[in-house]
Structure 1
Amino acid sequence: MTKLSKLTLALVLGGVTSTSYASDDLDTLQSQLKQLKQQMQLLENKLADEKTKQQQINKQHEQQVANISKKSDQKVVEVAAAEPEKKDEGIKVGGAIRFNYSTNTYDEDTQDRGGDFDFDIFRINVSGEINDISLNGEIRFYDYMTVVKYAYLGYEFADGWEGQAGIAPVPFGNGPYNSHSYFFSTNYYVGLEDDFDLGVVVKRKLKDNWKLDLGFFKNDELGGIDGGSSDINHRYSYDIIGSRSAEEGTYDAPGSRIGEYNTFAGRATYQIEHSKNITTDVGVSLLSGGLHDGNDRAGNYGAWAFHVDSTINNWNIQFQHGEYDYDLDDSSDRFVVGAYAYYDTVSSEATMTNFNVAYNYSLDWGPVTDIQFYNDYGIIYDKSDDSADTWMNVTGMSVAAGGFFSYFDFIQARNQPFIGGTIIGDGDTERRFNINIGYYF
């Protein structure tokens, strides 16, 4: 064989061997690719299963959240539906306990002790509404007497009109008070402020700037001349309980009993809106009734007043002027009033004038949230018995701090009950410093 033939044969055999080797490598590679593809398919299937499981978990979670939200919505709806009913229905019970410190110029023993700190009152209040009938009541416990201040039922029989029956407020003068201090005004001590009697009141709530109160009172809160109470001066409101003869002392029990009956009272008020924070209530009050001695009519009585109550931002200004007249058949020019287990004597006819100013100040000082500074002045003059004028000036402030409400008053007065005098007196000008501390619940 020649060299060329040998070389050719070698090249052919080498090519065949290389081809064989390449074919083997290709088979191996294809086998590996197939295995890899199978593994990838398994991984994809696994991922798909995991995705499906996660979707199921998410769906279950979303359903749970939806269920919880649905229950919450239902709860809110139920509370919203029930809240007005709970708000309107039911009777609330509250009250107060108060203590009083005072020192004055008309009691030397008190001055020697540096003043006295006494228990004032424990009271219980009830208010609320059941089946559209409202209830309001207050009972007071003093250390010397227990009295019902008011107790009446109310019903709104027409839109904006309410009727009240029981021991109800007598509509007269600036309301609810013609004063700012703990001592009220001079009118209170002749029965013409914060008075309550047995009867019926029809009230027109403020609408179109007008407010109207009309009342008919059969007799005073203790049942009048034939009332069942043996302690006729154990009461909160001042009322006539007798005629005062010249032979009787100023603070004696009346020798001749008299009681009021069939009293009509009315108050009409118009509110002027000057601007958003400035309003003025201008009103007129009238009162007329009879007097009875238990057997026959013993006279009649009446009163009138013109009053203004103006709010100017934080300021409050009150003015009231009027007269009262008790025309007794026995021609007496004095009559007896009773309240606080106490008798006093009042001129049967007189003129009354009051002027009060107050400023309200809100603050954030510990528990203190509101302070009201005030000066209340009142005078009773032109009396039928020619006795000296009665006047009282109270300079002070009230402080609200959480459940506590307190009055700090400096009083100067002449011939004023509870300030060392009496309505028919002719005494000196007296002074009293008074602190009344109350917790209200």
Structure 2
Amino acid sequence: MLAQEKPEINVGGALRFNYNLSSWKDGQKDRGGDFGYDMFRVNFDAAWKGIYLNAEYRLYSEAFGGGFMKQGWVGYRFNEKDEIQVGLNQVPFGIQQYNSHNWFFNLTYYFGLEDDHDMGVKYVHEDDQFEYDLAFYKNSEELQFGGDTESSPNRYSYDVVGRNKEINQFNAKLIYKFGDSIKNRIGVSGQYGGLYNLDTKETGSHNGLALHYELDYQNWNFKLQAMTINNNPKNLPGESDDILQMGAYGVPYEVAADFNIYTLEFSKNVPVKLGPISNLEFYNDFGFMDKKVEAFEDSFMNVTGVLVSAGHLYTYIDYAAGYNHSWLGGNFVDDFSVGNPDAKWEARFNINIGYYF
């Protein structure tokens, strides 16, 4: 048993600032971009008698939802290979912890499929050859407990909001690891849950399947993933079942109910000695959202950049381009659902500076 006999508490966090210059914002281009506050976070890790805590609280500007918990759970290790986590923990679906290398993440994040956290219980096993996770989530972050209260979009990871609520979700994930000089991780993930409609009082369903592969060779990292996602809400008659509302950072938007999503990422670390700078990580992350309704316009995203590491200071320098992307030049409302056939690629040059402690 891995019991912690004496209470132990560790506190960390981060402060980040952000500069951006966007192709679709004329006023911003006239000013030469904008530089401002991004986020302050506090992390807590505690352990005693074999039970431990992991929590992270973030403070964004009011326009991005203000303050909210990213994750917060208690855990217990049965041995060095098996543990259980209860609370707001990361959903075991797809490549983790991140299906990306850049500050923006990949397309998967914007549909609750990357670094997603929900309320439930997760069993984790990890050995030299296999990793597997089994989990049950009662719901996503529930901030208001009224009988007919919509889920708040003030959250870190994207979840279904509006008149539908995610409930009773089951997840399973298996990863097989092999290789020595070339390390490989090949895996499959599945999830199935309910969508409770506040108007009809009926429960629809949602499901997803993911195949994923990761490779590490010397200073190179590759990630390849394919997902198929289906949502079957029980909406009121006359309301489309082809569109859902999802929300995070204080604002909801529309997402196609059914889609396939494909992502490909690679990076290379280059150790350097440039004053305090010790490493440069160059990367390119690509994502394609193939909507199953033929009349909907598909969405794309590509981010090219470099992460500059200097002690506790990490700086992401990104050129992020999007097509029918709510956060990259779209109208924000329906880019990820119906889309715009007359859309054009838009881009944002972004520098995020973060001190992590």
So what's the TM-score if we normalise by structure 2?
0.91
2:158 is the counterpart of 1:238? yes
**SS state at 1:110 partner:** helix
Amino acid of the structure 2 residue aligned with 1:133: I
Query: Contact (CA 8 Å) 1:334, 1:385: kept in 2 or not?
Result: no
2:356 is the counterpart of 1:440? yes
After superposition, residues 37-56 of structure 1 pair within 5 angstroms as: none
Structure with the greater alpha carbon radius of gyration: 1
Partner of 1:406: 315
Runs of 4+ in 1 over 4 A off after TM superposition: 223-231
Q: 1:177 to 1:298 in 2, by over 3 A?
A: same
Following superposition, the deviation at residue 91 of structure 1 comes to 1.2
Query: Contact (CA 8 Å) 2:205, 2:232: kept in 1 or not?
Result: yes
Q: Deviations over 1:333-352 (max 9, x none)?
A: 00101101111100000010
Query: Contact (CA 8 Å) 2:150, 2:165: kept in 1 or not?
Result: no
Amino acid of the structure 2 residue aligned with 1:420: G
Query: Contact (CA 8 Å) 2:151, 2:161: kept in 1 or not?
Result: no
2:264 is the counterpart of 1:360? no
Following superposition, the deviation at residue 222 of structure 1 comes to 1.9
The structure with the largest strand share of the pair is 2
Q: Deviations over 1:168-212 (max 9, x none)?
A: 11001011111000011101111111000000000001x140000
2:166 is the counterpart of 1:260? yes
C-alpha distance in structure 2 between counterparts of 1:182 and 1:168, whole Å: 21
C-alpha distance in structure 1 between counterparts of 2:56 and 2:282, whole Å: 27
Partner of 1:97: 15
C-alpha distance in structure 2 between counterparts of 1:423 and 1:440, whole Å: 33
After superposition, residues 349-388 of structure 1 pair within 5 angstroms as: 349-384=258-293, 386-388=295-297
Q: 1:118 to 1:284 in 2, by over 3 A?
A: same
Partner of 1:148: 69
Following superposition, the deviation at residue 399 of structure 1 comes to 1.0
**SS state at 2:94 partner:** coil
Amino acid of the structure 1 residue aligned with 2:336: I
Q: 1:390 to 1:227 in 2, by over 3 A?
A: farther
The structure 1 residue matched to 2:32, chosen from 111, 114, 119, is 114
Amino acid of the structure 2 residue aligned with 1:284: V
Following superposition, the deviation at residue 384 of structure 1 comes to 2.5
Partner of 1:285: 189
Following superposition, the deviation at residue 104 of structure 1 comes to 1.2
Query: Contact (CA 8 Å) 1:198, 1:223: kept in 2 or not?
Result: no
Partner of 2:120: 199
Partner of 2:49: 131
**SS state at 2:161 partner:** strand
2:222 is the counterpart of 1:317? yes
**SS state at 1:291 partner:** strand
Query: Contact (CA 8 Å) 2:92, 2:189: kept in 1 or not?
Result: yes
C-alpha distance in structure 1 between counterparts of 2:143 and 2:226, whole Å: 30
Partner of 1:214: 134
Following superposition, the deviation at residue 228 of structure 1 comes to 10
Q: 1:230 to 1:94 in 2, by over 3 A?
A: farther
Query: Contact (CA 8 Å) 2:142, 2:151: kept in 1 or not?
Result: no
Query: Contact (CA 8 Å) 2:92, 2:133: kept in 1 or not?
Result: yes
Partner of 1:428: 344
C-alpha distance in structure 2 between counterparts of 1:369 and 1:301, whole Å: 45
C-alpha distance in structure 2 between counterparts of 1:209 and 1:146, whole Å: 39
Amino acid of the structure 1 residue aligned with 2:139: N
Following superposition, the deviation at residue 127 of structure 1 comes to 1.2
Partner of 1:10: none
Q: Deviations over 1:279-329 (max 9, x none)?
A: 010000101100112472331001111000100110000000011011112
So what's the TM-score if we normalise by structure 1?
0.74
2:210 is the counterpart of 1:305? yes
**SS state at 1:394 partner:** strand
The structure with the largest helix share of the pair is 1
Q: Which runs of 5+ in 1 are unaligned?
A: 1-83, 243-256
Following superposition, the deviation at residue 363 of structure 1 comes to 2.0
Q: Percent identity?
A: 37
After superposition, residues 3-14 of structure 1 pair within 5 angstroms as: none
Following superposition, the deviation at residue 371 of structure 1 comes to 1.4
**SS state at 1:221 partner:** coil
Aligned length, in residue pairs: 340
Following superposition, the deviation at residue 89 of structure 1 comes to 4.4
C-alpha distance in structure 2 between counterparts of 1:224 and 1:300, whole Å: 22
Q: 1:161 to 1:352 in 2, by over 3 A?
A: same
Amino acid of the structure 1 residue aligned with 2:86: A
Q: Which runs of 5+ in 2 are unaligned?
A: none
After superposition, residues 19-34 of structure 1 pair within 5 angstroms as: none
Q: Deviations over 1:234-279 (max 9, x none)?
A: 111100113xxxxxxxxxxxxxx11000000111000111x3x310
Q: 1:319 to 1:105 in 2, by over 3 A?
A: same
C-alpha distance in structure 1 between counterparts of 2:149 and 2:278, whole Å: 43
Amino acid of the structure 1 residue aligned with 2:83: E
C-alpha distance in structure 2 between counterparts of 1:138 and 1:316, whole Å: 27
Higher relative contact order (CA 8 A, sep 6+): 2
Amino acid of the structure 2 residue aligned with 1:289: G
Q: Deviations over 1:90-133 (max 9, x none)?
A: 11001001010000111111111100111100110111322111
C-alpha distance in structure 2 between counterparts of 1:354 and 1:92, whole Å: 35
What is the aligned-residue RMSD (CA, Å)? Answer: 2.0
C-alpha distance in structure 2 between counterparts of 1:345 and 1:225, whole Å: 24
